[in-house]
Amino acid sequence: MATSTKAATGDSDDRLPLKKIPGTYGAPFFGAVKDRLDYFWFQGVDTFFKSRMDEYKSTVYRVNMPPGPPGFPDPRVIVLLDQKSFPVLFDTSLVEKKDVFLGTYRPSLSFTGGYRVLPYLDPSEERHTKLKTFCFNILKDNGPRLFSEFSNAIGDSFIVWETALEEGGTASFSTECAQFAFNFLFRGVVHRDPVAPGEASLGTKGGEHASLWTAPQLAPVASLGLPHAIEELTVHSFPLPFILVKSQYDPIFKFITTYATDALGKAEALGIDRNDAANNLLFFLSFNAFGGFNIFFPAVVREIAGVGPDLMRELVSEVKDVLAATGENKISLQSLGKMSLVTSVVYECFRINPPVPFQYGRAKKDFILESHDASFEIKKGEMLFGYQPFVTNDPKVFADPGTFNPKRFLGPEGEKLISSVFWSNGRETDSPTLQNKQCAGKDLVVTISRLFVAELFNRYESFELAPKPAGPAGPTSQVTFTSLIKNAKT
Ligand code: HEM
């Protein structure tokens, strides 16, 4: 198993046999349209990648990735589906990360006030250094506040769910997730409650504004649930204009410029224009953070429910035992550090279901790339693309990869696997820096996700969910509690 941050670039004498990269892009335009129809319609995402992997007997091959012609630039990519080739995407000496945050396209700059925000910048750009420093600083300054605001915000949602179930209604996890995720982030960083009255109050609409502003940016690569023919002729073929969601962006921007005076002042001290900083802050909080948690938390709840009552009992007893041993009545960063099953569950959720499934990078020069079985010539300018759910389910690294194993990362053998968890555009054992493109919020994300699981089982003995609705999975699929049994202590 490779453990270094460097990709397997095969420049040693014992390099694996050099092979031509299999796969084809087909005829111009028609090849891209065919692949896109396979991806969204005839095959679906996983079969799209798996069928080609089987056909070419290779985890590295050429294919067109959506979106594509006529409205989007070049869809040709080289797919990476194994743990050995994929880390090339972390190596910014080999790949350029300019404008590839969402894929082969970059939404219009109107969505971000005319600025190329941090996730679209390559570390070679000076703005990357300044803006990532800004992001690191706000996370460092507000770490304890974000921690306590999370517990407060999810506490409000506990009451909402319990009241709804007592009244015989349904308790939507998804609706409340949008509330507590948005509220803790904005209270923690902007230092103002979005719900509190005031000239720039967002009321309870903050999460909705953020989701609707994000949607057209992701639409080219997403299934929106519209009839296929309509999606293919519209959102998968042409970018949607910002004007459709300006009314969603404006209130969040006003909230930030009105109340985030502390954060914006610190950005100015770093030499970042205030308007640029406000747009970046809006992106970090509404797209990166809120968007990420809104995908990840429902997946965590589903995975735990899928394993069932035994796991829930063990989680309850770990949380209770740690709190009893530390004498705390509230979960703290210290007590969280002692909850190893909670941590293993969170890593397993990231492994089996990485919330951001796609990663892109353009080759900065010619080099040789290795998969587990062969080596391949990569040419400068070619687009490399990793489909992360296959990579983190690589059977050469993880035993029984398709099974959710809550204890996978426990003990000395389990700990060795942590470096192969890749959700953050880097190894879980690596750290985001000014030179790399690893998620700036990586440590916060893992801490808050552990806190989420711990808060849930500090409050409840067990829960049950309504069956998964039919239709495409992902952020739009609703998660609903049908029962919540309170912990005897609460
Ligand atoms: C970058 C995932 C939360 C800030 C990324 C990337 C991924 C990711 C995969 C790399 C994208 C690429 O270039 O290929 C997630 C997930 C999150 C999350 C799944 C939550 C579950 C956060 C939070 C913040 C944040 C809480 C900070 C408030 C950023 C920034 C970048 C980034 C600024 C760009 C880093 C750079 O340009 O060097 N995130 N993220 N993210 N994330 Fe996160």
Write the pLDDT tens digit of every residue in 163-218.
Answer: 999 999 889 999 999 999 999 999 999 999 999 999 999 999 999 999 999 999 99
Q: Which token pair is 138?
A: 């706000």
Indicate which residue's Cα is closest to atom 42 of ligand 1: 439
pLDDT band at 14 (very low <50, low <70, confident <90, very high): confident
What is the model's pLDDT at position 475? 46
- With a 6 Å cutoff on the Cβ, whether 445 touches ligand 1 is yes
**Residue 347 C-alpha to ligand 1 middle, in angstroms?**
16
Q: Quote the CA–CA distance of 132 and 120 in Å, as a whole number.
A: 12
Q: Does residue 9 belong to any structural domain of this protein?
A: no
**Residue 294 C-alpha to ligand 1 middle, in angstroms?**
13
- With a 6 Å cutoff on the Cβ, whether 77 touches ligand 1 is no
Q: Does residue 1 belong to any structural domain of this protein?
A: no
Amino acid letter for position 34: K
Q: Does residue 4 belong to any structural domain of this protein?
A: no
Q: Looking at the predicted structure, is the pLDDT value of residue 473 above 70?
A: no
- With a 6 Å cutoff on the Cβ, whether 117 touches ligand 1 is no
Which tens digit of pLDDT belongs to each residue from 436-457?
A: 999 999 999 999 999 999 999 9
Classify each residue of 263-298 as buried b or exposed e, where b means 16 or more C-beta atoms within 10 Å of its C-beta: bbebbeeeebeeebbbbbbbbbbbbbbbbbbbbbbb
Query: What mean pLDDT comes out for the span 226-244?
Result: 93
Q: What is the domain count for the chain?
A: 1
Q: Quote the CA–CA distance of 423 and 54 in Å, as a whole number.
A: 25
Indicate which residue's Cα is closest to atom 31 of ligand 1: 439
What is the model's pLDDT at position 9? 63
Residues whose CB falls within 8 Å of the CB of residue 397, separated by 6 or more in sequence, listed in order? 1, 83, 417, 420
CATH assignment of the domain containing 313: 1.10.630.10
Question: 93 lies in which domain range?
Answer: 18-486
**Whether 354 contacts 347, CB under 8 Å:** no
Q: Does residue 388 belong to any structural domain of this protein?
A: yes
What is the model's pLDDT at position 490? 52
ipTM (interface predicted TM): 0.97
Q: Does residue 288 belong to any structural domain of this protein?
A: yes
Indicate which residue's Cα is closest to atom 17 of ligand 1: 292
Q: Ligand 1 atom closest to Cα of 293?
A: 21
Q: Does residue 438 belong to any structural domain of this protein?
A: yes
What is the model's pLDDT at position 406? 98
**Residue 439 C-alpha to ligand 1 middle, in angstroms?**
4
Angle between helices 442-459 and 309-326 (to 10 degrees): 100
Which tens digit of pLDDT belongs to each residue from 81-111?
A: 999 999 999 999 999 999 999 999 999 999 9
**Residue 340 C-alpha to ligand 1 middle, in angstroms?**
24
Q: Which of 211, 194, 292 is nearest to 249 (CA)?
A: 211
Q: Looking at the predicted structure, is the pLDDT value of residue 422 above 50?
A: yes
- With a 6 Å cutoff on the Cβ, whether 188 touches ligand 1 is no
Q: Does residue 13 belong to any structural domain of this protein?
A: no
- With a 6 Å cutoff on the Cβ, whether 284 touches ligand 1 is yes
- With a 6 Å cutoff on the Cβ, whether 296 touches ligand 1 is yes
Best mutation site among 104, 150, 383, 439 for ligand 1 pocket (most ligand atoms within 8 Å of CB): 439
Q: Which token pair is 347?
A: 């890593």
What is the model's pLDDT at position 489? 61
Q: Does residue 234 belong to any structural domain of this protein?
A: yes
**How much of the chain exceeds pLDDT 90, in percent?**
91
